[in-house]
Chains A and B, each alone.
Chain A
Amino acid sequence: MARFTAMETGLVVVALLLVPPLALAAAPARETAAAPQTSKNPLLAQGWQEMRYANHPKAQKAFEEALARTTDREERAEATFGLALLWQSRPSGTDLPRAIRLYEQVAEEFGDTKSAPWALLALARNDDLPEYEKGRQVESARARYRRILKTWPDHPAADEAAYRLAQTYLEKVGDAASEDQGVAILKKWLARRPDNVMAAVMHWHLGGLYKLRRQYRLTLDHWAAADKAGIPGTEVRAMLCLSAGYIAEHQLKDYALAITWYEKITKEIVRDDRYYVAKIWADDCRKKAAAATGPAAGGEAR
């Protein structure tokens, strides 16, 4: 009977153990799903894509390589911003202090790049909405929002900064002076940039505030503007239209206006749970409108 020495046996075992890893290593790399790649630098494009697919180590490697290889300021700023975002949002092990340092680096050292306002906005948001509520620093957040408005007034980040700045005042429910300050910021911004990115959100918020103040016409004016600017998502839009119709019907007794709002749902947002309610409430409004105009038209009904 053939006998194996310990060495031979060991070699066989090692060989057998190595097969699966080698097999896996030898397996060809997967294709990459085609996604829009807008960054010109391929390493940056790769970094963003890997981050989107939550491949954080690969994303980090790509951004770090981009940073090491490029001298272009825009690209360096974008790579640093990518790394900051990575350390801010990776599901396994965030490093917020590191992310903040990197954001600060983008905002201070690369102030002339398109990444800078976004970095400053990220810092402001961290002051405004920190991980723990106790750590909130409203004044610091406001200062950063204001700096964005002053330094990059025509940048999309400024639109969000204007809204967030106003939000810090508007959130003090019942404090009329603070609310007025918030309203003034929004109105000023909407007058300056009526079609700004956040116009729908700004009008939505103003409408809600006027609803609390029982200024229903203003509520509906702002909600109409919000709807025109584009409320994203059918569910939120249906909710807004139903509330607006309800206000027009019950508070303003303006049945024609109420029908207009309800019909936005019955005609444009059929696939929402509010569809049937909007339909029956619109029918009710028609009946109420007919009842209101009937006696006035002839008087015989009396």
Chain B
Amino acid sequence: MTRPPEPRPAAAGAADAARESLLTEQKRRRWERAKNVVGLAILAAAFGWSVVHVTYQAFWKAGETSLTGDRRIIRFVHWQLEGGIVKAVDEACRLYEKIHPDVEVQQIEVPERAYTQWVRTQLVGRTAPDLIENRFEANWIVRYFVPVTERVDHPNPYNAREMDARLVRLLGGDPAQVPDLGVLEGVPWRKTYIDNMKGGWYWELQDYYAMPLSVFTVRIFANKNLLEAAAGDLLPRDPKTGQVRGPQDLETFFRVCDRIKAYGDKAGQKLVPIAGSDYVADIFRGRYYERCTWNLLAKGDLDGDSSIGNGERLLAVAQGDIDVVNDPDLAAGHKLLYRICQQFNPGFMNMKREDSVFMFAQGKAVMMATGSWEAGTMQQQVEGLFDILVFDFPMPRPGQPYYETIRHRITEAGTKSGFPMSLTKFSRHPDLAIDFMHFMSSRRVNEWLNNKFSWFPAVRGAVPAPVLEPFTPNVEGVYCVYWMDFGGDTKLRYDQQYQGFVGVSPPQDVPLAGWLDGHYKRFITRYMADYDKYVLQDFEKRWREAYTGTVQTEFQLAQARARVLRGGLTEQVRENYVALVLGQSRRIAERADDVRYFEAAKKIYAAKRAGGAE
């Protein structure tokens, strides 16, 4: 048994306690002081860092010359961090520096998620780089970017024969051994682009504000190895190489999907035909829904201008020229989309683009739909795992289901060039920055650069990499003529109900066709009930806003008139001036039509409601 400690006298205990308390207080103070010192040190370090950063930005990075003062600097920012792009752009920068030893080109890569925020901060802080990949609205563009309209009608000096030969040598080739691409010599810069530089033209501002670098299209990507293993016998083969090709028609495509499911089941794998997500579903929806609208042109084009304007659409539906609930083409299109979505993984609407890319790259899905911008990255990601096959969205053949609805694909004739780089107002070397863009968009460099990116070049005559052949914009096809909503509430209801429509699995014990008829009918009837409820308010909002839009064009027109005043009627000034007057007059005429269509539709809906009430 241990003895308990003897109690200490009370006075001694109090003294000890006081000493203890003093020591504790001293320790606490020392700790507080130490904390203050550390805090101040952090504050001073942060302040010091900010001073260094701002000075660095002002004098060097955003400045006009390098630290040694012997080189001018241009900075170039984009969000294309896909594999190989940063490296290729960097190589292009170094090549440019070889031609211009007094220049340094700095590439800044910002992840897409932070891009808008980062660039806006730089623009507002007036520290923005010279060239920015543009993804901004007109009000930002006019405030922070410089129009390049005066430049685009002048030739690109890097397309001149002499310079072209120099570029060939720089890229490691022999000018005598490569085809002469000098035919673009003397051609206005905008006309050297496949799309005549439409990708750099901002209609609402009536100016060129961007210099694009690539062209993009959308296709289906497939895991060639799995596709061949699961359904090789259903697929055509290249007569020369014997390599498997994509399904040539829509029914084969569905048979391939069935085979993939069976192959997965047999192998005990969770294998889905198409890696689904909201992103992939939207791509398929765009490709197939738009195709199925073409037959509606005959029903809804009330003024015979080969399109169905918003007012025509409103009236055509109101007076029953287009019977949305019973329209066979809209029904076929939606049912087709349902069948396609059934090939996706369950819960695809809650998944994002990255999820479907991951799923495809892991070999858990055999196909996915995405754009040519993903071609290079995808190749890198799956290298050593499987080969990729790219093919266009299959069409029905004569006699097959959906053929009467979908006879034509959607055209890519009007595809605009992308990866648009814009010159900021804060550029210290605007002429140099434009010269750099001349270099990047010269036929020789644009071809070389895009081949490195595995993207499609934007410049005429530039030959794409063989892997991009399936992405070649196809001019054959029609255009979408009918949309299901008018924005606002009609769009909200359509999107919600469409998700419900495609997101439901069919019951196991009933034939799909019969069940789908009823499922579609319920979806479209419910949607059209909402449409009837909200369409007039959504449409009225549109044409009321259209007046403001028309007034806005008067500001651009005022600028165009000022250009005539100060420069006279040169060809370009005249074209711009007439384009603005014509554009505004079209808006005025369309709005007047819309008001007439609206009044007529309003009467029809009022009569319907009165009839319903009775």
Contact = CB atoms under 8 A, between A and B. Distances in A.
B400 to A, nearest CB: 20
Contacts of B566: 38-39, 44, 48, 78
Interface in A41-76: 44, 48, 51-55
B431 interface: yes
B562 A82 contact: yes
A31 B429 contact: yes
A32 B428 CA distance: 8
Contact of B475 (A24, A242, A270): A270
Contacts of A23: 54-55, 58-59
Contact of B478 (A20, A91, A205, A277): A277
A201 B196 contact: no
B582 A277 contact: no
Given A33-B423, A38-B566, A197-B578, A89 B428 contact: no
Given A118-B562, A157-B561, A173-B592, A243 B306 contact: yes
A275 B562 contact: no
Interface string B442-480: 000000000000000000000000000000000111110
A230 B54 contact: no
Per DSSP, are chain B's interface residues mostly helix, strand or loop, or mixed?
helix
A85 B307 CA distance: 37
Interface in B169-226: 194-196, 198
B575 interface: yes
A156 B567 CA distance: 13
Given A16-B51, A232-B575, A32 B414 contact: no
A31 B558 contact: no
B559 A205 contact: no
Per DSSP, are chain A's interface residues mostly helix, strand or loop, or mixed?
helix
Contacts of B50: 20
B478 A276 contact: yes
Interface in B15-66: 47, 50-51, 54-55, 58-59, 63-64
A135 B304 CA distance: 34
B579 A272 contact: no
B582 A36 contact: no
Contacts of A82: 562
Interface in A13-37: 16, 19-20, 23-24, 26-28, 30-36
Contact of B54 (A20, A30, A115): A20
Given A54-B143, A234-B196, A247 B304 contact: yes
Contact of B588 (A33, A171, A234, A274): A171
A131 interface: yes
A159 B557 CA distance: 14
Contact of A36 (B194, B408, B567): B567
A276 B475 contact: yes
Contacts of A208: 589
A134 to B, nearest CB: 10
Interface in B396-414: 408, 411, 413-414
Contacts of B588: 167, 171
B98 interface: no
A200 interface: yes
Interface stretch (B348-356, B363-371, B508-516, B548-556): B548-556
Given A81-B562, A88-B558, A247-B304, A276 B476 contact: yes
Interface stretch (A121-129, A178-186, A287-295): A121-129
Nearest to A131: B551
A88 B478 contact: no
A88 B585 contact: no
A38 B551 contact: no
Contact of B554 (A125, A200, A204, A270): A125
Given A39-B566, A197-B577, A236-B582, A273 B47 contact: no
A110 B565 CA distance: 14
B51 A242 contact: no
Contacts of A131: 551
B85 to A, nearest CB: 26
Interface residues of A, number: 78
A28 B413 contact: no
A107 interface: no
A271 B194 contact: yes
A258 B288 CA distance: 30
A173 B588 CA distance: 12
A198 interface: yes
B578 A271 contact: no
B454 to A, nearest CB: 23
Interface string A85-99: 100110100000000
A218 to B, nearest CB: 15
Give the residue among B50, B305, B423, B477 with the most A Cβ atoms within 10 A: B305
Give the residue among B475, B550, B583 with the most A Cβ atoms within 10 A: B475
B578 A270 contact: no
Given A197-B577, A270-B413, A33 B431 contact: yes
A30 B430 contact: yes
A33 B411 contact: no
Interface string A137-149: 0000000000000
B54 to A, nearest CB: 4
Contacts of B198: 271
A250 interface: yes
B293 interface: no
A160 interface: yes
B147 interface: yes
Contacts of B429: 30-31
Contacts of A272: 413-414
Contacts of B78: none
A163 interface: yes
B142 interface: yes
Interface in B314-370: none
B581 interface: yes
Contacts of A121: 561
Contacts of A54: 142-143, 425
Nearest to B428: A30
Contacts of A251: 304
A204 B555 CA distance: 23
Contact of B578 (A26, A114, A198): A198
A232 B434 CA distance: 26
Contact of A31 (B58, B430, B475): B430
Given A131-B551, A205-B585, A277 B564 contact: no
A242 B304 contact: no
A283 B549 CA distance: 39
Nearest to A48: B566
A242 B582 contact: no
B483 interface: no
A52 B559 contact: yes
A156 B569 contact: yes
B153 to A, nearest CB: 11
Given A91-B139, A198-B581, A276 B425 contact: no
20 contacts: A16-B51, A23-B55, A26-B58, A30-B428, A52-B147, A53-B146, A54-B142, A78-B565, A118-B561, A118-B564, A125-B558, A133-B547, A167-B585, A201-B578, A205-B589, A232-B578, A236-B583, A239-B305, A272-B413, A277-B478
Interface of B: 47, 50-51, 54-55, 58-59, 63-64, 139, 142-143, 146-147, 150, 194-196, 198, 303-307, 408, 411, 413-414, 423, 425-431, 434, 475-479, 547, 550-551, 554-555, 557-559, 561-562, 564-569, 574-579, 581-583, 585-586, 588-589, 592, 596
Given A27-B58, A91-B142, A232-B582, 5 more contacts: A20-B54, A23-B59, A53-B146, A197-B577, A251-B304
